[in-house]
């Protein structure tokens, strides 16, 4: 369920904010996927052992967040009832 990717998303043109780390949860039917990304400049500055540690931690984060998202989605579907 957890996947990693690097890159950034476009920022607002008037904003001084820089997105350095993000987590995205997507749903396609009953399939839920969790992805994370890191700003390329920050990724370049990390030592290999730091990158490995971050990858392991973010894998756990996306698994937890994606699992919780899936759980909430299933609960909402059960509460809304069927349309038989």
**Could you tell me the residue ranges of all domains in the chain?**
2-8+19-80
% helix, strand, coil for the chain, step of 5: 45, 25, 30
Residue 34 pLDDT > 60: yes
- Please name the residues in contact with 55: beta carbons below 8 A apart, sequence gap of 6 or more: 4
User: What is the chain's length?
Assistant: 84
Query: Residue 27's pLDDT is what?
Result: 85
Average per-residue pLDDT for the chain:
80
Q: DSSP 3-state assignment of 18?
A: coil
Residue 70 pLDDT > 90: no
Query: Residue 8's pLDDT is what?
Result: 47
22: left (phi over 0), alpha (psi -120 to 50) or beta: beta
Residue 28 pLDDT > 60: yes
Cβ–Cβ under 8 Å, residues 38 and 21: yes
| Residues forming a β-bridge with 37 | 22
Provide the whole-model pTM. Answer: 0.63
Identify which has the larger pLDDT, 37 or 7.
37
């Amino acid at each position: 369920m957890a996947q990693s990717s690097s890159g950034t998303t476009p920022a607002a043109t008037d904003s001084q904010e820089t997105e350095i780390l993000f987590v995205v949860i997507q749903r396609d039917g009953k399939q839920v996927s969790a992805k994370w990304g890191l700003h390329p400049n920050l990724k370049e500055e990390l030592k290999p052992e730091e990158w490995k540690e971050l990858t392991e931690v973010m894998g756990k984060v996306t698994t937890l967040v994606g699992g919780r998202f899936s759980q909430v989605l299933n609960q909402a579907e059960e509460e809304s009832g069927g349309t038989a």
